[in-house]
A and B are shown apart, each in its own frame.
Chain A
Amino acid sequence: DVVMTQFPLSLPVTLGQPASISCRSSQSLVYSDGNIYLNWFQQRPGQSPRRLLYKISNRDSGVPDRFSGSGSGTDFTLKISRVEAEDVGVYYCMQGTHWPYTFGPGTRVDIK
């Protein structure tokens, strides 16, 4: 199985400041169609996961533009340009290229 790692696992941030989460896969996530199926999810306390970004950098409908994604091959990054209180939660990267799909361990974002 593809192993997804994330860094850091805990991220205390100051409101209004930027935040960045790294995600690395144990093998290339380039699918046979040329796409990279790397998604980012947010899970707020007590809620189901919500997809924020798909195929590295495409924002889902309703996702604020302060969220952005980048990366290629095996290294990816989620950035929040200015953290707001509603951004508190756990963020997961997930690869959908190889079965079984696998998630990173999650990065807990909270406010300092």
Chain B
Amino acid sequence: EVQLVESGGGLVQPGGSLRLSCEASGFTFNNYWMHWVRQAPGKGLVWVSRISGDGSSTAYADSVQGRFIISRDNARNTVSLQMTTLRAEDSAVYYCVRGGIDYWGQGALVTVSS
């Protein structure tokens, strides 16, 4: 059974940093691109970032380019999102999503507020 479990969410002040992690199981991790998608409270879904199976290719939404870094550790079946210079508008549930966009984690809530 495919499982994606996010961790690392929480409350952070504007300008602060936070690191989200997603542990994957139930599939051959390094065969898949992995994505982060976010959803602000009561709002729709927005793509944030993606990384290739071997980690050599990454991409970011314009809104997070230069502030967020996606990475993966294929030995540990984890994908991470390092978020810096956080803004109030980054507040959202962040979902880890398997390439193919078929499986989603339960989400990690990030709140940016003073």
Contacts and interface: CB of A to CB of B under 8 A. Distances in A.
B45 A49 contact: yes
B108 to A, nearest CB: 11
B47 A48 contact: no
A101 B95 CA distance: 15
Interface size, B (range) = 10 to 19
Contacts, number: 40
A26 to B, nearest CB: 16
Contacts of B45: 41, 49, 92, 94, 103, 106
A54 B39 CA distance: 21
Interface of A: 39, 41, 48-51, 54, 60, 92, 94, 96, 99-106
Interface of B: 35, 44-47, 50, 59, 61-62, 95, 100-102, 104-107
